Structure 1
Amino acid sequence: MTARYHNPVDTRFGWGSLDQLADITEQQTVALVTFPEARGLGLVDRLQALLGERLVYVIEDVQPNPDVAQLRATYEGFWQQAGSCDTVIAVGGGSAIDTAKALIVGTESGRFDELLALLASGKPFVPPRCKQLIAAPTTAGTGSEVTPWATIWDSASQKKYSLHLECTWPTVAIIDPQLMLTVPGGVTVSTGLDALSHALESIWNINANPLSDTFAVSAIEDILECLPLLRRDLASQELRSRMALAALKAGMAFSNTKTALAHSISYEMTLRYGLPHGIACSFTLPLVLGLAWGHDEARDKTLQRVFGNDLQIAQTRLREFLHSLDVKTEFADYGVNASDAQQMVEFAMQGARGKNFIGSRAA
């Protein structure tokens, strides 16, 4: 069988690579999407200096898990006030990049509810207009800078929407580990575990192939070694760079496979129990490893390249790794009883991401 790998993102990696933004956006007008603390960190002023008069609009109130309640006004304000700009640059974590992906998809009316209705239909669509996107992550974990997917939440209705169009692939990704130096320990761990989940989810996946596996295995090995070291030495440029590269490799892996069961479970844990995404998608990894093992010989061989041939030892290693980062690994630890947990796993198996899981075929 022929393996196919496709990723159209012009990817720039390296310390200080954000400075390339001036050349990348030459003769373009730019809108910035970033997080509330960015100005206090001097990031907005730095981007203003790099872009000069090209920077025509700034959104700096992005919140975690972009929710329709806030996105509506942000979206409509963007298209009313900056609809003529050429490019949107997202500088921040996954929430900033996901917000920017929603903003660049223009509807005929300029109204957000029109976009929401298209997403709710679940049918493919081609937007009448779309902006270019440049993504510069400030955390080592999201992977969103090299994928077309964005998650939009509706907490009031207990729903989430997945946005993915040809135009939501970023045109350029700038992975500058220097931007990650100020990320606190808790966020460093949570986002690093999101990256670990991306890499593992791309292996126990019906869409996996030897090319995506190459990125995934390398990312897993790097994260297992690097993340505990980085947690103890947050100012290390070397470790920040290693984690940034590992997260990028994980993004490159799941950009072609999508995520699977652990992420499908995570959506319920975030909506119903308020668990941060990186923890919600990683605390079940030892459990899902056990559910994946033995369903596909090729997938087993790839997992065994990392964990060895003994499932129990592999699960113990993964569980102890998470515990060393103060992440609890049982549903009960998060207030979910055994019956509800079983129902949640079964429900997640039927979700779009759950169906990517190799074990779902036997469920």
Structure 2
Amino acid sequence: MIARFHNPVDTRLGYNSLVELASITENQKVALVIFPEARGLGLVDRIQDLLGERLIYIVEDVQPNPDVAQLRGTYERFWQEAGDCQTVIAVGGGSAIDTAKALIVGTQSGRFDELVALLATGRPFVPAHSKALIAVPTTAGTGSEVTPWATIWDTEGQKKYSLHLDCTWPKVAIVDPGLMLTVPAGVTVSTGLDALSHALESIWNINANPVSDTFAISAIEDILECLPLLRHDLGSKELRSRMALAALKAGLAFSNTKTALAHSISYEMTLRHGLPHGIACSFTLPLVLGLAWGRDEARDRVLKRVFGKDLDEAQAQLRNFLHSLDVKTEFADYGVTQEEAREMIEFALQGARGRNFIGAHAA
């Protein structure tokens, strides 16, 4: 069997790599999508100084878990007021980058509902217009800077849409750990656990390959060692660098495999119970590890490289790691009954991400 690994994103990594924006966007009109607190941190002014007059438009009202109700107005104003820009720069966590990915996909009518209707079909499409995207993560977790996917939520309709087009691959990713130094402990933990989930999900995955495994194993080892230390030393440049690189490696891993069962469960936990994404996709990792173990000999070999040969000890290691970060690992801890949890897992196995899980077809 021939393995294939593909990632088209030009990635720049290192302290002060944000300055690369100036050369990358030369002679372009640029829009900026950035999280609301960035102006108070001086980050908007810093980017304005780098870009000068080429920065023609700023979106600052990014919301967690971008929802159709809020995105509609943002999208339509963007295309009316900044439709002539060539590039969109997304600065922030997953929500900012997801918002930007939605904005760069232009519809014939300029209406957001046309995009939602296209996404609702679940089929690929070629957008009427698109912009280039530069992704600058300010958290170590999302991996969205090196993947094409964005999640758009419809809380009122209790649905979520997955956006994935050729144009939603970022053209450039700038991973500057200096931008992560102000991230508080709770967000640091939640986003770090999102990265851990990305790496593990890429291993117990029908789309796994030796290259994605290499990135995933390295990311898992780094996160298990580094995240508890970083939680208690948030200003450490070394630990921030290690977590930034670990999240990047996890992103590269699942950029080729997509996620699997833990993420499929997480969507229901976020929609029904309001759980933050990083916690929603990580609290079931010990459970899903048990469901994955023994399903595929090659996948077992990879998992045993990380956790050793004993399943009970492997689950205990993962569970204890999460507990050390004050993350509870049982459905009941989040108000989910045993019956609801069983139904949620069965439903998740039928979803697009659930079907990537190596145990889905035998379940």
TM-score (norm 2): 1.00
Residue 233 (str. 1) matches residue 233 (str. 2): yes
**How far does residue 299 in structure 1 lie from its aligned partner after superposition?**
0.3
**How far does residue 324 in structure 1 lie from its aligned partner after superposition?**
0.1
Question: Which AA in structure 2 matches 1:33?
Answer: V
In the alignment, the residues of structure 1 paired with residue 327 and residue 124 of structure 2 have an alpha-carbon distance, to the nearest angstrom, of 38
1:98 is aligned to 98
Question: Which AA in structure 2 matches 1:251?
Answer: G
Poorly superposed stretches of 4+, deviation over 3 Å: none
Question: Which AA in structure 1 matches 2:48?
Answer: Q
Per-residue CA deviations over 1:258-309 (Å, capped at 9, x if unaligned) read: 0000000000000000000000000000000000000000000000000000
2:47 is aligned to 47
In the alignment, the residues of structure 1 paired with residue 304 and residue 346 of structure 2 have an alpha-carbon distance, to the nearest angstrom, of 26
2:361 is aligned to 361
1:256 is aligned to 256
DSSP-derived class of the 1:226 partner: helix
DSSP-derived class of the 2:309 partner: coil
Per-residue CA deviations over 1:85-123 (Å, capped at 9, x if unaligned) read: 010000000000000000000000100000000000111
In the alignment, the residues of structure 1 paired with residue 141 and residue 171 of structure 2 have an alpha-carbon distance, to the nearest angstrom, of 19
1:343 is aligned to 343
**How far does residue 128 in structure 1 lie from its aligned partner after superposition?**
1.3
In the alignment, the residues of structure 2 paired with residue 165 and residue 9 of structure 1 have an alpha-carbon distance, to the nearest angstrom, of 14
Map 1:287-298 onto structure 2 (within 5 A).
Answer: 287-298=287-298
Question: Which AA in structure 2 matches 1:10?
Answer: D
In the alignment, the residues of structure 1 paired with residue 40 and residue 169 of structure 2 have an alpha-carbon distance, to the nearest angstrom, of 29
2:164 is aligned to 164
DSSP-derived class of the 2:360 partner: helix
DSSP-derived class of the 1:361 partner: coil
In the alignment, the residues of structure 1 paired with residue 175 and residue 148 of structure 2 have an alpha-carbon distance, to the nearest angstrom, of 16
* RMSD of Structure 2 on Structure 1 (CA): 0.3
Give percent identity, aligned residues only.
82
1:36 is aligned to 36
2:63 is aligned to 63
Map 1:323-342 onto structure 2 (within 5 A).
Answer: 323-342=323-342
Q: Which runs of 5+ in 2 are unaligned?
A: none
1:126 is aligned to 126
Per-residue CA deviations over 1:144-182 (Å, capped at 9, x if unaligned) read: 000000000000000000000011000000000000000
In the alignment, the residues of structure 2 paired with residue 357 and residue 274 of structure 1 have an alpha-carbon distance, to the nearest angstrom, of 24
**How far does residue 207 in structure 1 lie from its aligned partner after superposition?**
0.1
Residue 279 (str. 1) matches residue 283 (str. 2): no
In the alignment, the residues of structure 2 paired with residue 123 and residue 242 of structure 1 have an alpha-carbon distance, to the nearest angstrom, of 38
**How far does residue 210 in structure 1 lie from its aligned partner after superposition?**
0.5
Per-residue CA deviations over 1:310-334 (Å, capped at 9, x if unaligned) read: 0000000000000000000000000
**How far does residue 45 in structure 1 lie from its aligned partner after superposition?**
0.2
How many equivalent residue pairs? 363
DSSP-derived class of the 2:220 partner: helix
DSSP-derived class of the 1:259 partner: coil
Question: Which AA in structure 2 matches 1:179?
Answer: L
DSSP-derived class of the 2:328 partner: coil
1:113 is aligned to 113
Residue 202 (str. 1) matches residue 188 (str. 2): no
In the alignment, the residues of structure 2 paired with residue 15 and residue 308 of structure 1 have an alpha-carbon distance, to the nearest angstrom, of 35
Question: Which AA in structure 1 matches 2:297?
Answer: E
1:17 is aligned to 17
Per-residue CA deviations over 1:116-140 (Å, capped at 9, x if unaligned) read: 0000011110001100000000000
Q: Which runs of 5+ in 1 are unaligned?
A: none
In the alignment, the residues of structure 2 paired with residue 115 and residue 24 of structure 1 have an alpha-carbon distance, to the nearest angstrom, of 29
2:306 is aligned to 306
Map 1:136-155 onto structure 2 (within 5 A).
Answer: 136-155=136-155
In the alignment, the residues of structure 2 paired with residue 166 and residue 160 of structure 1 have an alpha-carbon distance, to the nearest angstrom, of 20
In the alignment, the residues of structure 2 paired with residue 206 and residue 129 of structure 1 have an alpha-carbon distance, to the nearest angstrom, of 33
Question: Which AA in structure 2 matches 1:148?
Answer: P
TM-score (norm 1): 1.00
In the alignment, the residues of structure 2 paired with residue 345 and residue 83 of structure 1 have an alpha-carbon distance, to the nearest angstrom, of 42
